[in-house]
Every structure is written in structure tokens, then in C-alpha cells.
Structure 1
């Protein structure tokens, strides 16, 4: 079984939604008679309804011997049945807290929230209160996601504490399962705005390279181009605006690895502006002296975090099948820094 995320390593961008955690594993007894898969699981899983199990099977969260199947599949002796979701099993309770959440959309199945920079998404060591999940637990307190003393506020992906932008929340078990599978199969559309150091001659490009924990610093992700470590990661980017020493990129994720955009940009020599973890909090282009140094320090002060914003989110509604698209404007700190760079570039 996969271990929960390391509390010392903040999930980023799309968090780790490409990682499926095994919640249940059942090896069918040798003497088991042929029985429908949904009926078999109903007898083996506590607090699970037949409808809930069928929903999980339809969303391809249930596999038999490593393959998806149908509810009417007849289980056989020695079959290995697994139920996997992108969120690790809960190990403790969550305290609901009233918060002024920036909710951009909500219906009976979904909730889209615009997370501000500085807010941790999920409680972990050193951040047990004031997280987005604490606020969601309060907001969703009367929904089926809170049951039997266990609160599951529908989280299916995450972004880093100091990254701003859009997150989707599932408000029902079906929505959570359906959304989880969309993330796993890479059908969710996500774009980020990133201000990075350096000039780009090309208008668009793609970064490919496995992303995994650095061997030198466990809190940092590294890129392994030959794939000897980490997991495959692909980031597509387009240059939206050039300001001389820095460039505004739109990044689209094909995968969702921890710190993917930040690690990929550092790998190609274009660390995110003011990203202290990946070396972007120093002047990377231009002389670190005089008026220019003072100007850059002023931009750092205006945007005291990595310049990364989850701008748009596209998904299929779990119930209606409708394709939905959401966008969130740049927050004030990011917009202020961009305005400073635009004015600087115009004066050159």
C-alpha cells in the first residue's frame, strides 16, 4: 500500500492526483463460489452500499487482477480485487472551521474554489488548522461526505501552499470517484500562469523528464531526464509576454507530479520568479547591482512567493456529462509584479 504524502514535502500544481493509493485489496478465497463483483464487495466492505460500489466500478476505480471490469463480473478463486483512489486513506479527524472561501461555482455534485496563496490545502505536520480542508469540512458538514465521524471534504487534487488558483471539490461519493478518474486518465484540462526568469526565443515548447524526490534534498523535486528515477512528467508551455529578463508563460500539465512546473522550469534554466525552493529568489538575469537590483527587490516584495497561479480548469460534470470550464483572474500580488515588469520593459 502506498504511504501518505511526506508532510515535509508540499504537494504542488496538480498535487499528486496521478498517484493512485490502494484503499482496499481483497484476495478471493479458494473456495469462493462464482458471485457478481458488486455483490461480493458488498459483503466484504463495511459501510458501503451497492450503489456506491457500482459507481466505483463504473468509474474504473475497482480492478480485478489489474484490469477494469463490470459490476456483473463473476469473481473467481484467487482473484485480486483492488479499490484505488488518488487520496491516501484518512488516518485522523479534521476539525471544521468557518472560513470565507472564494467559491466560483457550486451545485449538488461539484464545488470550484479559488485558493489564495499562503493557504495550505490539507492538514499536515505544522499545519493542522486554517487549511482549505478545514474550511471545506465546515462548508460541507451536512453532506454525505461527512459520515460515521469521518470527514471527507471531497478533495481530489491539491496545489502548493504558495500557489494560488482553482481547485475542484467533489461533494458526493460518485463525484469524487468520477473526478479522481478524470485526473488519473489526464482528461482534466489545467493551465497555469508562471512568471519565470530568462528569455524564450521560441513561442512554445514542451519539457519532458521524470520528476522525483531529490537525492540531495528530500524537500525538493529533481528532474531525471533518462527516467532512472521519479515518474514521467510532461509540461507544455507558451510564451504569453516577454519582459526582458523575465517571461510570462502559460503552462499546461499533461501529468500532475509534485512541484512539476517548478522543477521542470528550473531544469531548463528558467526558475520561477521568487521561488526560493528552486533558486528563483535571486537575480538570475541582469546585473545584481544599482537601480535594477532595487527594482527587482521591489518586485520580490510585491510578490513574496513563487509566481505561479492555477488559472483555468476544464472537466466533465460527473452527472450531466457536460464539459465545464472555469477561469480565475490573477491575484493582486501577481498582477502588481507583472505591472512593474511591464512598466520596466516599456522604459527600456
Structure 2
């Protein structure tokens, strides 16, 4: 069902990449919370529930299961479950890392290795909602692993493709900050090199998993918007999303 959009007073549209009786795959808008938070701003989960209720004239509450998240400033492909069975099976797939999630990012500088596996231990401060890289064995720290490949570099910036093995809060942002390459536009983990108002350049470009009921392999791609700094690498972006 690619190409459909859900109109919103707060956001121009929420593209629907796929929908059936079990799943809803959409493109999350940037700067929209995945679910309700203390800001009380319109969130994607509530927005989609309201849309399902209206489109299908459903009485009462609408079920929509959240099985993974994207940080508020990040956009891209997300899957939601329309039944509790689908939610349970997709959540199991997330836990067993059988859902493949690929991101594209623009980072400051250039990583030393053209491709590598990054492994850090991350500790979250719930009071400030910030994450730091800490020594192994630190109480409360969780292992974070990702693979990356540099697709192109230009003007002090690099376009990288990132494949997550773990799904820790702010993982990509903190791990690249730790190696000296904070993300373009990241105000939280790269304030020293990014100007206020710059949009973080991190996009969930590819999502693949097995359908929770039919077992059919599903794969979805969402490209970043055609704006800076993404427009520096239009050709590489298309290839990097594959």
C-alpha cells in the first residue's frame, strides 16, 4: 500500500509503506515522539490509533502494538502490530535480533576504518535522558554493538550505513560520538560542532523481518528527505539503502 498518506494537522503526512490485518508499516516523521511523553506533543502511536479508528469506523479503543522505537528527532521506517499475537511475535523477533534494521547517518569527520564493528557499554541516566559510554563492568551498563560502512565523505562529513545488533537508547548517536564522529545536527551528543536548529541526520532506511503469521519475508525501504546534508550524496543514498 505504498504511496498512501495519513493527513495530520501537526505533520504534513505519515506515509504508509504496508498494511494488512496484522501489520502497519509507516514512515515516522522527524521530531514526532514515537509514543506519548512528558512533552504531551502529538505522538505517532496515538496518531495512528486515531487514524485506524476513523478509517475503519472502529468503536471503542483501537489496539496497536509498539514493538520498537525511534528517537524523537529521527525519521524512517517503523512497524506496528495490529493484533496482540503479531505484537508478541514481533517483540520476540526484536529480542532474538531477527528483525534487521539498517540506518543511514551523516557524521562529522571520517571514521578511521572504512568499515568496522563498534562495541561499547552504554549507561543511561534516566533523570537527564542521556546516555554515556562507560568502561565494561560498570553497574547498569548494557552492551551495544553495531556495524558500519562509510559510503562517501565530503567537506568534513561522512555518509555511513549502520546495521544495529542491539537496540540501546541513543545507541548510534553515542557510539559515533565516542569514536569522535558525532552525528550531523545532533544537539545532545554533538553540541560543540553542530549549530542550534540543525536537524539530526539519522534515518531508518531499511527494515526487514518475517511476517508474524504468514512467515513471508518482508522488506521495506525509506529514503531520507531531499534536503541538506542528505542531498550531498543522492546516488550513494539509493545504493546505501539496499
The answer to whether residue 209 in structure 2 is matched with residue 315 in structure 1 is: yes
Q: 2:124 corresponds to which residue? A: 213
SS of equivalent residue, structure 2 residue 231: helix
Partners of 1:231 and 1:154 lie apart in 2 by 25
For the Cα contact (< 8 Å) 1:140–1:171, is it kept in 2?
no
Which position in structure 1 is the counterpart of 2:226?
Answer: 332
User: Are the aligned partners of 1:197 and 1:280 in contact in 2 as well (CA < 8 Å)?
Assistant: no
Does 2:49 correspond to 1:137? yes
The equivalent of 2:97 in structure 1 is 186
In the other structure, the counterpart of 2:167 is: 256
Check the 8 A contact 1:98/1:135 in 2, yes or no.
no
Structure 2: tracts of 5 or more residues without a match: 1-5, 235-242
More moved, 217-226 vs 168-177: 217-226
Determine if contact 2:14/2:26 at 8 Å carries over to the other structure: yes
C-alpha distance after superposition, 1:75-103 (max 9, x if no partner): xxxxxxxxxxxxxxxxxxxxxx9734211
Q: How does 1:13-28 map to 2 (within 5 A)?
A: none
Instruction: Give the TM-score of the pair, scaled to structure 2.
Output: 0.83
Q: Which of structure 1's runs of 4+ aligned residues deviate more than 6 A?
A: none
Q: CA offset at residue 316 of structure 1? A: 0.5
Distance in structure 2 (CA, Å) of the matches to 1:246 and 1:227: 33
8 Å contact from structure 1 (residues 197, 245) kept in 2: yes
Cα deviations across residues 148-188 of structure 1 (Å, max 9, x unaligned)? x6554221111011101010011111111110100011111
What is the Cα deviation at residue 200 of structure 1? 2.8
Aligned pair 1:113/2:26, yes or no? Answer: yes
Query: Is the Cα–Cα contact under 8 Å of residues 235 and 251 in structure 1 kept in the other structure?
Result: yes
196-205 or 304-313, larger mean C-alpha shift: 196-205
Higher share in strand: 2
Match in the other structure for 1:223: 133
Q: How far apart are residue 328 of structure 1 and its match? A: 0.3
Aligned length: 223
Report the aligned-residue RMSD: 2.6
Higher helix fraction (1 or 2): 1
Determine if contact 1:192/1:250 at 8 Å carries over to the other structure: yes
| Structure (1 or 2) with the larger CA radius of gyration | 1
